[in-house]
Structures are given as structure tokens and as C-alpha cells.
Chains A and B, each alone.
Chain A
């Protein structure tokens, strides 16, 4: 289970592309296509190198004009889903 104290990073072999304010990712081994909404795309784009989840929450608050509780819930949900799909790892 992911918490805001965790440090995460993208896996390296995940081809992805931003398109407008969304993102499309491909899990190559399974051939699975993942479509990220603007918040998910924003978070994914922020994952250059390692990042603490709490820092991502702060980024979401600043860029989407939402309160911290909402940002935290959305960020944890997204990061958790990506980890479950094997697209990012906890350090």
C-alpha cells in the first residue's frame, strides 16, 4: 500500500506520450495501453527520477486548485494503480 512518505519512480522501459493534457502509456510486456486523465498525466510527467509522494501531492494542489485532502486521495489512488500495473516502483 502506498503512503505519502513513500518515494517512487517510473520504470524505465515504459513508452509514453503526452497528448494535449492527457497521457497514453504502453506496458510493453503485456501490450496493455493505459490512458491517463489530466491529473494522472500531470503526476506521471512529474515522475522524472525519484519523487516522494508528498511532493507530488503538493504539485497537484498547486496546479489543480484543489484542497490537500482531495489531492492526496487522487495522487495515492493513481500511484497505487500504476504500481499495481507494474509501471512504477517504490524505492
Chain B
């Protein structure tokens, strides 16, 4: 019996293996638009133990340690997951198999491999208008969900967590199953930083300012110098090549009428 499901997100394919049918069914449901048969997954993710259905309201701090090509995740002193970056293997342990935790660990492992390849998850709303991608990075409360709401009729990839990769030389924003479920992807036309303002106004952001704000909103898989260096290089090239703007707006603004 097939105990695995194949998933592809932002061009990164991984295979999830679990002997528990309930786990596979849950993941197949959550990743539905992203299921894709793979000849060679980038990494294999093994989930051990049955998934409990207790909802997790808040996530305790996770300690992430990298030693060479091995990364371990610990929560409250208990091992939850470990990753072998060199062999492309990851295990999520039975103790992590509360419903909320499992999803977060899968996302963290995916983000690790994403950073290693070049790319990242970022706290940003992302919208595709026609064939143009727009990335709206920002901290909690800056208006990302409001922007998503104002973008009805356009393709909202995510209102909170967006995926950026490099594809055929272009910086591309992609849909993920986390806070959205669109398979769409598009070349990033502009990076737009939401700010509160009395009326709608766009001003060009400097490249240094853009890099500063990008780096502050990237989701880091672990505190590792090499991965930070990768991320800084990737984000730096984005800041140098993609036009960026500060967008001052309020709830009554028609942001798409003036969007660059």
C-alpha cells in the first residue's frame, strides 16, 4: 500500500511518508491543490506516529539547532523534528503530532530547504493582478489582511505568508498551502510596503530601505550564519532589481487604481 504523498510547492517537491492513514488523509486534504507526482523529490519527510486532533492555540518557543548539515527542532526540551539537509531527509516525531504542531513543522522543514536553495517564506500579502505579482511585506498590524480584502477579484496568493523563489532569472511569488491555497505564481512587478496614511500615496523606497524591510519580515528557519548569508544575498538582489514603494493608505483607499 502506498504510504506516501507527493507535494510540490513553489517548484520544490517533497514526499511525505507516514504509516498512519489518518495522517496521510489529513495532509492530502490540506495540500490538495499542491499534490503532484514526483520522480525525484528534493527531500523526504517522514511523519512518525498518529496525529492527535487537539487544536493548538499558541505555539511554544522552538529551539532550532544546526550542526553542519543536521538541523534539530526542540520544544520544551523534547525533540520534535530533525532534518538531514545533505541527504534530503526529515523526520517529525510522534511528540510533534498535535494537529497545529505538525503543520508548523512541515512548513519549517520546507522553509529550511527553500533557504538552502535560494528563496524564502516572508510575512507578506501577495496578489497577482493580470500576470503581475505584487508583494506587500510587513509586520503584524500593518494592513496585509486589509490589502487582501481590498484585492477581491484579483488572485490573492496569501494574506500573510508568501513564498518567493528565483525562476528563470526572475523573482517570482508563489502560492502555498499556508494562509492561502492558490497554485498561481507570477514574476514580482513591485514590492510595496504598507503604511498607515490619511490618503493613498506611493513613494519610491530606497534600495537600502527596501532590503532593510525585507530582511525584517523574512521567516528564518533557524539562526544559522550560512542561511542568513544566503537570504541576505537573495533579498539584496531583489532590492536592487525590483522597484519598491512605500504605500500610505487607509480603509477607504482604492489602492489598485494608483498601484505602480
Contact = CB atoms under 8 A, between A and B. Distances in A.
Contacts of B232: 15-17, 24, 26
B215 A22 contact: no
A81 B87 CA distance: 42
Nearest to B216: A33
Contacts, number: 44
Interface residues of B, number: 19
Interface in B209-241: 211-212, 215-216, 220, 223-225, 228-229, 231-233, 236, 239-240
Given A19-B208, A31-B220, A26 B215 contact: yes
B166 interface: no
Given A19-B208, A20-B208, A28-B225, A33 B236 contact: no
B223 A28 contact: yes
Interface residues of A, number: 15
A91 interface: no
Interface string A39-76: 00000000000000000000000000000000000000
A20 B229 CA distance: 18
Contacts of B240: 19
B207 interface: yes
Nearest to A29: B223
Given A19-B207, A19-B240, A20-B206, A26 B212 contact: no
A15 B211 contact: no
Interface in B231-259: 231-233, 236, 239-240
Contacts of B236: 17, 19, 24
Interface in A1-42: 13-17, 19-20, 22, 24, 26, 28-29, 31, 33, 35
Contacts of B211: 17, 19, 24
B212 A33 contact: yes
A15 B212 contact: no
A90 B3 CA distance: 57
Interface string B185-212: 0000000000000000000001110011
A85 B160 CA distance: 31
A47 to B, nearest CB: 17
A19 B233 CA distance: 10
A31 B212 CA distance: 13
A1 to B, nearest CB: 29
Top-7 shortest CB links A-B: A22-B208, A15-B229, A15-B228, A13-B225, A35-B212, A17-B236, A17-B232
Interface of B: 206-208, 211-212, 215-216, 220, 223-225, 228-229, 231-233, 236, 239-240
28 contacts: A14-B225, A15-B225, A15-B228, A15-B231, A16-B232, A17-B211, A17-B232, A17-B236, A19-B208, A19-B236, A19-B239, A19-B240, A20-B207, A20-B208, A22-B208, A24-B212, A24-B215, A24-B232, A24-B236, A26-B228, A26-B232, A28-B223, A28-B224, A28-B225, A28-B228, A31-B220, A33-B215, A35-B212
